[in-house]
């Protein structure tokens, strides 16, 4: 049983196993289910993620018309060869966007750790997949590694935008993804923790200010940035860069920032982008014509 990232890393390194394995063992103990059933359950979640990305890449529109179609634009742009960033990064961004566009359209997704932040983990996984060619089992491990880090954040801080702002949602998702990318790319458990710390540091203070209270603007694009942040931090950690502030202390800082964040900036749609003239106008237009 691990209560924080330090214990998680210590457990994995002392047993000489992947972080995914520690999460699987804990799940077996908690649920009393055999390993095969737990793996099968995660396999089903992976399938839902695949289907959501596939659907989003074909192009979807939300009921309000605020979001949809951006994943397609990005894929088309990548094909022109004019993209400034590398294709792996943009692929991750477009797949994260695809997932959240499906979510906004009231489609089926898998929350990772929440629905509003559901794009980051699958977006990065399916992009990195193109380069590393992981087996299905390794892809499932990616999700268990993400779960292990998310588990620590959820229990020691928060994964709720209403409680901790967007840093708790897209911030957590991004840190989880970074750690899992490191492990999939062959990094050590310590490097995975460094990637999580570096990622989350860059997300501290991010507020939850959804226009009209909808999980659309800015949520979809925040998933895009969450995905690119995760890949950048994973590469930094794999290069041997470490965070001066340990991962658990970054998580604690995130929690305290969330607690002091004004209510207007915690999923109430009363501040930030939601309170801009355009944000307010959109809300009026939507709720004037919607329903």
Partner 1 sequence: MKYRSAFDIIGPVMIGPSSSHTAGAARIGRVARTLFGKQPKKAIISLYGSFAKTYRGHGTDVAVVGGILDFDTDDERIPSSLTIAEEAGMEVTFTIEDTVMDHPNTVKIRLFDEDKELELVGISIGGGTIEITELNSFKLKLSGENPAILVVHNDVFGIISSVSTVLANHEINIGHMEVSRKEKGQMALMVIEVDQKIKLEIMKELEGLENVLQVIKMVD
Binding residues for partner 1, rule: CB under 8 A, are 23-24, 26-27, 30-32, 38, 41-42, 44-45, 48, 102-116, 118, 121, 143-144, 146-148, 150-151, 154-155, 158-163, 168, 176, 210, 212-216, 263, 266-270, 287, 290-291
**Residues forming a β-bridge with 199:** none
| Least Å from the CB of residue 172 to partner 1 | 9
Distances (CA, A) of 177 to 15, 148, 199, 278, 288: 23, 11, 9, 32, 38
Query: Of 63 and 253, which has the nearer Cβ to partner 1?
Result: 63
Burial class of residue 106 (count of CB atoms within 10 Å of its CB; 0-12, 13-18, 19+):
exposed
Query: Of 56 and 187, which has the nearer Cβ to partner 1?
Result: 56
The Cα 169–Cα 68 span in angstroms is 21
Cα Rg of the chain (Å, integer): 18
| Least Å from the CB of residue 269 to partner 1 | 5
Query: Of 121 and 227, which has the nearer Cβ to partner 1?
Result: 121
> Sign of the C-alpha dihedral, residues 172, 176, 182, 188?
positive
| Least Å from the CB of residue 281 to partner 1 | 15
Burial class of residue 107 (count of CB atoms within 10 Å of its CB; 0-12, 13-18, 19+):
middle
| Least Å from the CB of residue 65 to partner 1 | 13
Helices 136-156 and 247-260, axial angle in degrees (round to 10): 50
Query: Of 96 and 147, which has the nearer Cβ to partner 1?
Result: 147
| Least Å from the CB of residue 3 to partner 1 | 8
Query: Of 89 and 230, which has the nearer Cβ to partner 1?
Result: 230
């Amino acid at each position: 049983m691990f209560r924080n990232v330090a214990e998680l890393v210590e457990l994995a390194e002392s047993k000489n196993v992947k972080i995914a394995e520690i999460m699987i063992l804990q799940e077996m103990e908690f649920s009393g289910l055999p390993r095969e059933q737990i793996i099968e359950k995660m396999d089903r979640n992976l399938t839902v993620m695949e289907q959501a990305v596939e659907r989003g890449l074909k192009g979807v529109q939300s009921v309000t018309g605020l979001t949809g179609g951006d994943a397609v634009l990005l894929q088309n742009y990548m094909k022109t060869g004019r993209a400034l960033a590398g294709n792996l990064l943009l692929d991750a961004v477009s797949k994260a966007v695809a997932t959240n566009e499906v979510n906004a359209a009231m489609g089926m997704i898998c929350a990772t750790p929440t629905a509003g932040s559901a794009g980051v983990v699958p977006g990065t996984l399916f992009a990195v997949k193109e380069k590393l060619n992981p087996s299905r089992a390794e892809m499932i491990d990616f999700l268990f590694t993400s779960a292990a880090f998310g588990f620590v954040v959820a229990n020691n801080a928060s994964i709720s935008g209403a409680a901790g702002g967007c840093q708790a949602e897209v911030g957590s998702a991004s840190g989880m993804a970074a750690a899992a990318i490191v492990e999939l790319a062959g990094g050590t458990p310590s490097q995975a923790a460094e990637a999580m710390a570096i990622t989350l540091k860059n997300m501290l203070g991010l507020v939850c200010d959804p226009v009209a209270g909808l999980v659309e603007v800015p949520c979809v694009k925040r998933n895009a940035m969450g995905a690119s942040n995760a890949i950048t931090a994973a590469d930094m950690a794999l290069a041997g860069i470490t965070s001066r502030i340990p991962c658990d202390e970054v998580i604690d800082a995130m929690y305290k920032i969330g607690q002091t964040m004004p209510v207007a900036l915690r999923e109430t749609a009363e501040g930030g982008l939601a309170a801009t003239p355009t944000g307010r106008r959109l809300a009026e237009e939507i709720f004037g014509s919607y329903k």
